[in-house]
Amino acid sequence: MQFLQFSMLAWAAASIIPFLLSRYRRLPKQRLDWSATRFLHASAQRSEKRFNLQQWLVLLLRAAALLLVGLAVAEPIRATSDATSERQRGQKFLCVIIDRSASTGALTTLESDVTLLQTAKEVLDTELRKADADDLLAVYLADQTNNLVYWGDAIDAMNKTDSMSDWRSNGMKIATESIVPAVQSAISEASRELSTISICDVIIVSDFSKAEWSSPTLKVLVDQIASMPKTTCRLISSRQSVEAESVENVSIASVRLDGFNYWKDRTNLLTEIRNSGQTMLIDRIIQLQVDGQVRDTRTLSLKPGETKQVNWSLERSRAFDQSVEVSFLGEDQLEIDNHRYLVIPRMLDDEVSVVADFEDDSIPVTTALRSLGLKPQDSQMNELALLKRPRLIHVIDPETVSLVGDSLYSLAVNGANLVIWLGNRTVPDVWQSSYDLSTHKSVFPGRSLKRQKWDGDELAEVVIASEVSEFVSQTSDSIAIPMSRYWGVEDVTGDWLSILSLSDGTGFAFQRRIGNGSLTWVTTPPTLSTSDEDNAWNYIANWPTFVPLVDSINMAAINQPQRNYECGQTINWNNSFDINESVDSGVSMQSAAPRLLVLKDEFAVQFDRPGIYENVTQQGSSSGSKMQKIGVNADSDDFQLEYLGNESIVQSQPPVGPGQVLDQSVQSNRLSDASGLFKYLLIVAIVLLCLEMIASTWLTFESPRSRLNRLSGRFPQ
């Protein structure tokens, strides 16, 4: 810091002003002739002392404020930037670091044949022409060796008569892509030379990849150089644009889960990575994340246009869904191109849910499930239980389906198995008179509903079917009610498979596939016939074979033929949701259900099920430039999705443009840091000035009450 500047001297002189003010303007301005001052003598001494103390305090505040303002305005640290003014006074040491990493082998533009390294050397030649003949020159090549390739007179380098001409060649080496070691070497060399050299100029010529530009180490080193006495640091970019190494030129061509299914504990994931850019990718990292945890990383190099395959062996580590994400990390590992896939593993025993209108414990099915050692989720009209994506859902009262139909359907599409228990309703008179078969036709358009036995039970099932149609109508497929002999309705679609039959061969449990899941209908055994549906199920509990029946149904529902989950598949979900919409999950499951879906268009949305209501973190993935966040209000169980739009992941852009001198920006950065201090000082000074004003006005230390009395003209009595 140099304080011998005119501005500093001026401010030092100005700092006398407060003392003068304090000396000559200490006493109050207003004088008043008084007749009885002798009565004041008792308190005057105290007042005089206090007044003097206040005046000294005001004086100190004034002086401090003035001093700080002076410091802030003078910015003495800026004096070091004037080191270049000393250039004319003596020999200069020119220290050049040339980045010769692999990235500098990239073409400046796709059309040109000039590499970044060549551009860097041209820039260096331009700088050398500005050097004086007696200047010293040191050239470092920042590659894997970080060689000091030249040390000598600058005039020889200018005339290209130096013996070590390797740095002038166009040879490109596979380097560590970090110029930090070379810069460190340059700093050491510059420190040594500064003892004899009057001024030092450090020039760093690099393409300044994102990693380098955002490297805190490099920033520290540059600041260190700039803070050295009589030393300047210049950063010169050789880069034309940042497109050459953009991760957008890298694509994960296809991913295949080989033989994967969620009944197996292990599967293989095959990934193809392709470099479609013009730059060679050196030691790039491909990482595999499962449920947000990095499971494995691979390092590979890709030539332009080359495609390589990466094969991983996946092992299921936990229940519920698994998020499989393959990420390609850019050169600075900030730029990411990732592809996300969903893997649904095998359900566990406690992944059973019951949807019913009753208390769980009163439901015979629930009791039976508990008897079987299963732990059904308490999902009585509770959408939250469904959000946990149970693998097996028993729907006891089909009327409930109309409320959570979308949710059930979406779960079924994604692999859940629905078991709908159809009651034995007998409300013939009422429904028979009010129901029209045309309604049935609207429920099942284009399908014939063959009527064999028209009675109340049949009609009741038709009504139930219309309620169930809330979710089944969303698919292009149509279903028909699984018909039993009891109801006398045939399965006209042929999609239904009888999985359980009575002893006489009559099926009472039918199943068909919906998406990746299944839908199972279980009818009331014909031997039971009551006038009340709910009571009918209560009677079922007394049926001695009911628990084995439930077990059979569970096994039949789960033990389906193995199916591979179609990873990467895009599911066009009609009931698409607005990801900017905040949905109260407690209102309607229908609106919340789509959040259980996985893939939509180009970006994937996945919820980590255990964390939805516990600790939801960023589980959404990004593709391209899209990002997604998930926020959860744990108190209200609301959750909100936020789409960030085309926000780049890359934090900072490296400088572009060949030959662009960046020392000014570096300098400004440094000064901006210093200016931060000065701004701070300035703020402190302003605060002090305010305090001074307050003190000079209010340093009577009056209480608010006294002040009020004084302002109102009243005085203490």
Partner 1 sequence: MAESQNYFSPELIASLGGLRLRAAHVADGWVAGGYSTKRYGNSVDFADHKSYSPGDDSRYIDWKLHARSDRYTVRRFQDESNRHFQFLIDSSASMSFRGSDAVWSKWQCACTIAVALATICLKGGDAVGGCRYQEILQDWFDASRSNQAMIQLIQSLESRPTSGVARLSKVLDETAIRLSRRTCLVVLSDIIDPVVDLELPMARLIEAGHQILFVRIVDREEEQPKSSEVRLFVDLETKAEVVFDPLTDCKSYMDAFKSHANEFKTIVERFGGPQKNCKVLSVITQDPIAPQLFRILDQVARGV
Query: For binding to partner 1 (CB under 8 A), which residues are involved?
Result: 27-28, 30-44, 46-48, 50-51, 700, 702, 706, 710, 713, 715-716
Which C-beta is closer to partner 1: that of 29 or that of 129?
29
Backbone phi and psi for residue 486, each to the nearest 5 degrees, phi listed first: -60, -40
Which C-beta is closer to partner 1: that of 30 or that of 476?
30
| Minimum CB distance to partner 1, residue 704 (Å) | 12
Which C-beta is closer to partner 1: that of 50 or that of 266?
50
| Minimum CB distance to partner 1, residue 49 (Å) | 10
Alpha-helix residue ranges (DSSP H) falling in 586-662: 589-592
Which C-beta is closer to partner 1: that of 44 or that of 220?
44
| Minimum CB distance to partner 1, residue 18 (Å) | 19
Which C-beta is closer to partner 1: that of 216 or that of 713?
713
| Minimum CB distance to partner 1, residue 41 (Å) | 7
Which C-beta is closer to partner 1: that of 4 or that of 711?
711
| Minimum CB distance to partner 1, residue 32 (Å) | 5
| Minimum CB distance to partner 1, residue 61 (Å) | 18
Alpha-helix residue ranges (DSSP H) falling in 113-215: 116-129, 154-158, 180-193, 210-213
| Minimum CB distance to partner 1, residue 17 (Å) | 22
On whether the CB atoms of residues 557 and 392 are closer than 8 A, the answer is yes
| Minimum CB distance to partner 1, residue 712 (Å) | 11
Between β-strands 147-153 and 626-633, what pairing exists: parallel, antiparallel or unpaired?
unpaired
Per-residue CA distances from 548 to 363, 371, 416, 484, 519 (Å)? 16, 10, 21, 21, 20
Cα distance between residue 94 and residue 131, in whole Å:
8
Q: DSSP letters of 162-188?
A: -S--GGGS-------S--HHHHHHHHH
Which C-beta is closer to partner 1: that of 572 or that of 712?
712
| Minimum CB distance to partner 1, residue 58 (Å) | 13
Which C-beta is closer to partner 1: that of 430 or that of 694?
694
Which C-beta is closer to partner 1: that of 15 or that of 706?
706
Q: Which residues contact 553 (CB under 8 A, 6 or more apart)?
A: 419, 499, 500, 509, 520, 522
Cα distance between residue 91 and residue 84, in whole Å:
12
| Minimum CB distance to partner 1, residue 59 (Å) | 16
On whether the CB atoms of residues 648 and 625 are closer than 8 A, the answer is yes
Q: Which residues contact 565 (CB under 8 A, 6 or more apart)?
A: 257, 260, 261, 262, 342, 343, 344, 415, 516
Which C-beta is closer to partner 1: that of 48 or that of 125?
48
The conformational region for residue 341 under phi > 0 = left, psi -120 to 50 = alpha, else beta, is: beta
Which C-beta is closer to partner 1: that of 4 or that of 36?
36
| Minimum CB distance to partner 1, residue 39 (Å) | 4
On whether the CB atoms of residues 477 and 515 are closer than 8 A, the answer is no
Which C-beta is closer to partner 1: that of 4 or that of 42?
42
Q: DSSP letters of 384-415?
A: HHHHT--SEEEE-SGGGHHHHHHHHHHHHHTT
Question: Half-sphere exposure of residue 641, counting CA atoms within 13 Å on the CB side?
Answer: 25
Which C-beta is closer to partner 1: that of 22 or that of 191?
22
| Minimum CB distance to partner 1, residue 705 (Å) | 11
Q: Using N-to-C axis directions, what is the helix angle for 180-193 and 216-227, rounded to 10°?
A: 10
| Minimum CB distance to partner 1, residue 8 (Å) | 36
Q: DSSP letters of 590-611?
A: HHHGGGG--EETTEE----GGG
Kind and range of the H or E run holding 658: none
> If we measure between CA atoms, which residue out of 631, 629, 569 comes closest to residue 602?
569
Query: Residue 422 burial (CB < 10 Å; 0-12/13-18/19+)?
Result: buried
| Minimum CB distance to partner 1, residue 31 (Å) | 5
| Minimum CB distance to partner 1, residue 22 (Å) | 15
| Minimum CB distance to partner 1, residue 53 (Å) | 12
User: Alpha carbon 423 to chain centroid distance?
Assistant: 48
Q: Which residues contact 340 (CB under 8 A, 6 or more apart)?
A: 323, 324, 325, 326, 604, 606, 621, 623
| Minimum CB distance to partner 1, residue 74 (Å) | 36
Calculate ∠ Cα 568-574-576, nearest 5°: 80
Cα end-to-end span (Å), the chain: 59
Which C-beta is closer to partner 1: that of 160 or that of 707?
707
| Minimum CB distance to partner 1, residue 43 (Å) | 4
On whether the CB atoms of residues 551 and 372 are closer than 8 A, the answer is yes
Which C-beta is closer to partner 1: that of 450 or that of 714?
714
Strand partners, 201: 94, 232
Which C-beta is closer to partner 1: that of 40 or that of 133?
40
Instruction: State the CB neighbour count (10 A cutoff) for residue 405.
Output: 23
Structure tokens at 304: 């332009």
Which C-beta is closer to partner 1: that of 6 or that of 715?
715
Cα distance between residue 142 and residue 101, in whole Å:
7
Cα distance between residue 562 and residue 542, in whole Å:
35
Cα distance between residue 622 and residue 335, in whole Å:
12
Strands (E), 413-482: 417-422
User: Alpha carbon 604 to chain centroid distance?
Assistant: 14
Which C-beta is closer to partner 1: that of 35 or that of 542?
35
Q: Which residues contact 241 (CB under 8 A, 6 or more apart)?
A: 108, 109, 656
Instruction: State the CB neighbour count (10 A cutoff) for residue 188.
Output: 10
